């Protein structure tokens, strides 16, 4: 597991429950989504109705699960949490849907990874609060309609564009979660530090925030590693210096690049003069699989404007040269 990976590891899962904001007011950043969601929930409450289905799109670790829990809390409703890959058969979904209480929030993470038959069952459940349970097989099979209590589906996906339009259209509200600004991550870090009873100053928080890739989950994880360092090597207080030294030990640099990211950039600059170079060649040069370079390292390098994918191959941007402290070779004419 990478220290700067956005998916939750075992330790994250154990600690995150304690760090989750429990109301919209406590949820940092995402102003637009927060404001819109606030209206949706207030209106539903005023009507005494169940809230509309909500689709949340955005990268892992930006707070989709947290928001779904907040929706349930704000609606004073229980919540059930599951995920697309966990629903293999339509029957799995029927079992979950038929056991929901009135007004319950069903959080379906990675909703784009649900099986086709389950997806079709979900259409009807979302629209009419009804499912057809198929009993028997072959020509003798019959569909028994089953009424469901009204519920609120909160679907989460990395990209709304991954969803088939008929599914996307059945959500009353779609919130697009953005990466967080450094100042927002600093607020997340101060809040987490308070909950974990850690002492951190403004500069210490800024230092960690700048390396957190715009992602609260990563910020909270780096905070825990810096805490370890502060407790063992310093007096426990997290200052800029302590944070920088700790993250140097863990090989997370000032922009949040880790060893793999830097190895890819380094090879691109030193061995291929900044490119263009093909993905396979670049992967061999860093001793990694193609997929690892393409799926693990590149997305963040592209997002940071350090590397570009072109039809002729990968190229480094001027920012890549300056980030690694190297000077680009002079342009050869022609
Ligand atoms: P996702 O479901 O998008 O992968 P999570 O909701 O599990 O992300 O959030 C990951 C962690 O980051 C949680 O521990 C949560 O406390 C924290 N977090 C996410 N968004 C925020 C936020 N806006 N404010 C404070 N903490 C947040």
Task: List per-block mean pLDDT (blocks of 10 residues) for the chain, which spans 334 residues.
Answer: 89 88 96 96 96 97 97 97 94 94 97 93 95 88 92 95 92 96 98 97 98 98 97 96 98 97 98 96 97 96 97 96 93 66
223-247 burial: b if 16+ Cβ within 10 Å, else e: bebbbebbeeeeeeebbeebbbbbb
- Residues 6 or more apart whose Cβ sits within 8 Å of residue 185: 208, 209, 212, 214, 216, 219
Distance 333 CA to ligand 1 centre (A): 50
Is 240 among the catalytic positions?
Answer: no
Contacts (Cβ under 8 Å, ≥6 apart) of 232: none
Query: What is the predicted pLDDT for the residue at 159?
Result: 87
Closest atom of ligand 1 to CA, residue 26 = 24
Annotated binding-site members for ATP: 19-20, 61, 64-66, 127-129, 170, 180, 217
What is the ipTM score, two decimals? 0.99
pLDDT for 10 equals: 84
The whole-number pLDDT of residue 333 equals 66
Catalytic residue of the set 12, 50, 64, 168: 64
Strand 152-157 relative to strand 54-57, pairing: parallel
Ligand 1 contact, 57 CB (< 6 A): no
Does 34 qualify as catalytic in the annotation? no
- Alpha carbon separation from 82 to 85, 90, 97 (Å, rounded): 9, 14, 11
pLDDT at 332: 66
270 is catalytic: no
137 has catalytic annotation: no
Question: Which of the residues 50, 65, 152, 157 is marked catalytic?
Answer: 65
pLDDT at 134: 82
């Amino acid at each position: 597991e990478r220290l700067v990976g956005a998916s939750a590891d075992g330790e994250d899962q154990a600690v995150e429950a304690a760090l989750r904001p429990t109301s919209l007011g406590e949820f940092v950043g995402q102003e637009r989504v927060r404001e819109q969601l606030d209206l949706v929930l207030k209106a539903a409450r005023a009507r005494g109705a169940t809230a509309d289905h909500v689709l949340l799109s955005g990268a892992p670790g930006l707070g989709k699960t947290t928001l779904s829990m907040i929706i349930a809390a704000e609606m004073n409703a229980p919540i059930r949490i599951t995920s697309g890959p966990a629903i293999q058969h339509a029957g799995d979904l029927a079992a979950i849907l038929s056991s929901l209480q009135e007004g319950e929030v069903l959080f379906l993470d990675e909703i784009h990874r649900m099986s086709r038959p389950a997806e079709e069952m979900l259409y009807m459940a979302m629209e009419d609060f009804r499912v057809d349970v198929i009993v028997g097989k072959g020509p003798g099979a019959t569909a028994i309609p089953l009424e469901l209590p009204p519920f609120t589906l909160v679907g989460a996906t990395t990209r709304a564009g991954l969803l088939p339009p008929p599914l996307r259209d059945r959500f009353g509200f779609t919130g697009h979660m953005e990466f967080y600004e450094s100042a927002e991550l600093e607020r997340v870090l101060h809040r987490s530090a308070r909950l974990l009873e850690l002492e951190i100053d403004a500069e210490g928080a800024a230092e960690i925030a700048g390396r957190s890739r715009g992602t609260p989950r990563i910020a909270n994880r780096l905070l825990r590693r810096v805490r370890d360092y502060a407790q063992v090597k310093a007096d426990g207080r997290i200052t800029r210096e302590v944070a920088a030294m700790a993250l140097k030990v863990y090989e997370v640099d000032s922009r949040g690049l880790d060893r793999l990211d830097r190895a890819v950039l380094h090879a691109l600059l030193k061995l291929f003069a900044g490119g263009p170079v093909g993905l396979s060649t670049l992967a061999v040069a860093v001793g990694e699989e193609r997929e690892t370079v393409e799926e693990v390292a590149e997305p963040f390098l592209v997002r940071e404007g350090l590397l570009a994918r072109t039809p002729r191959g990968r190229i480094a941007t001027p920012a890549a040269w300056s980030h690694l402290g190297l000077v680009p070779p002079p342009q050869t004419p022609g």
